[in-house]
Amino acid sequence: MTDSKERLTQWLRDAHAMEEQAETMLSGQIERLENYPELRDRMTLHLEETRQQAKRLEQCLDRMGEGSSTLKDAGGKLIAMGQSISGLFAGDEVMKGSLASYTFEHMEIASYKMLIAAAGEVGDSETQSACKANLREEEAMAEWLESKLGTVTSEFLRREERDSDAAKR
């Protein structure tokens, strides 16, 4: 039998693994965004937020007596997904990266909504506040990415045209 508290703990661990994966993905993308400074700067900010989010989750787990020291081991499940979306880069990495980031933010949003409800169910208001803080940052990042999808696509296509024209000369 799994009770709600155990389930909450498990989902917090999953969320922590998800944030570690987010950190890996963001770090990898930031390195390749030298031509897209606005995107790079926002991702750099979100990388810092992501590290803080992981710390908030660790504090929740520590408070529940679940020790966060073994968390590194729980990260396996999501790694495959992160690799599959970051490993397909072929010239249009900025677009593949935008797609992956936007998708990932929404998985994070869904996870924190689940966690907020689960923490409410067991009366853990501190965990609920931590997850609400994380949720707000994920929503802000998803909205920002959404607002930039059109311009980044245009910028990418124009750059590609320019480069291929230059190569023909």
Residues at the contact surface with Fe ion, assessed by CB under 5 A: 108, 138
Q: Which CB atom, from 89 or from 144, has the smaller least distance to Fe ion?
A: 144
- Minimal distance in Å, beta carbon 19 to Fe ion? 7
**Residue where the block lists tokens 């979306």:** 85
- Minimal distance in Å, beta carbon 22 to Fe ion? 5
Please spell the DSSP secondary structure of 106-166, one letter per residue.
HHHHHHHHHHHHHHHHTT-HHHHHHHHHHHHHHHHHHHHHHHHHHHHHHHHHHHHHHHHHH
Q: What gap in Å lies between CA 162 and CA 165, rounded to an integer?
A: 5
Q: Which CB atom, from 94 or from 145, has the smaller least distance to Fe ion?
A: 145
The first and second tokens of residue 124, run together, are 């853990």
Q: Which CB atom, from 147 or from 164, has the smaller least distance to Fe ion?
A: 147
- Minimal distance in Å, beta carbon 10 to Fe ion? 20
- Minimal distance in Å, beta carbon 51 to Fe ion? 11
Amino acid identity, position 99: L
- What backbone torsions phi and psi does residue 66 show, to the nearest 5 degrees? -100, 5
- Minimal distance in Å, beta carbon 65 to Fe ion? 27
Q: What stretches of 64-92 show up as alpha helix (H) in DSSP? A: 76-86
Q: What gap in Å lies between CA 87 and CA 131, rounded to an integer?
A: 29
Q: Which CB atom, from 58 or from 138, has the smaller least distance to Fe ion?
A: 138
Q: Which CB atom, from 10 or from 103, has the smaller least distance to Fe ion?
A: 103
Instruction: For the chain, give the longest Cα–Cα distance.
Output: 70
